[in-house]
Structure 1
């Protein structure tokens, strides 16, 4: 790869990371147009890496690109949120069912350490680190599911799920994540797949209720 290509890729990735965070944090509202000229000026990029950044965010479901209308922040409706949670829950159940029977002692120990790191971050009030540890726990489950296709399917949905949960009260959401992690570690230790699935379904239903409590039909607006 040439230095020009590397620089082009770095510029594109800078735009992707910044716009993704703006969308996740609600600084860019659902349906808001992404003004090409303003974004080019903000990041000092040309049209080419910007188009590629929009295309990548579109594949993540965070941006909509329409011919002759440009790019805008993807809408986030209550119906879409319910659909995401339903599909995400189904995929996560299979991650547990396919992976947990093959866990070795080291796998359980790794999950337990991450759950402990999460708990320490949460109890100390470091919510940024707690979210990061929660993501790491989920990644470890995916790494052990035994199916690249299953992992790919869930990772494709992940940016939209992350956008959704960022709308929730962080303390409430992270408390649910802590309960789920504790239950999954205990289930993994006992090789009790059914109890893990039950715990997942219970926590997922509570997250769905938090989403329902957000109120408006267009979430995040």
Structure 2
């Protein structure tokens, strides 16, 4: 499960998705922090060919369903298991309504336990491009009336993944976030709930690289 990742720069976002953003976010992100996500533009002019079809928003890393009492729930909802996302109360509404988003990431971090100790390891695309993580987004109204957006990363089993099976404690299930090939980004964002599961696959290990790095 991924609880720590790096958000890309605005320039990287522009290069990857063709959209500029005035939003601000930190680089080093953990559950409950504010980060960027990309979704289909909800308000666009169909008569303007230059109108953007995507938009960048910032939200809480960790999904906040409508019934959440406070933002502390985000500490437990930052990842959604593909096997149970359709039934878990925290995620099922966003899944059924196909609130798909892309969570841009320069890199993700996972602990490598092969030495007997947890060694934070930075995992990124081998070509250096931003990773497009498949996610779900939500819109929550806080007790004081503030509108808060939030998001979660979808994950799949990685027990047989040549790279990701090396992470997390020995004996624990291995997981990998769903990293979409660039050619599937648009299709994921507009996919229906019925078609969503087809996108939830492992990313090829040969397209990733992992380097030990002390936590910052």
**TM-score between both structures, scaled by the size of structure 1:** 0.23
Q: Which has the higher helix share?
A: 1
Q: Which has the higher strand share?
A: 2
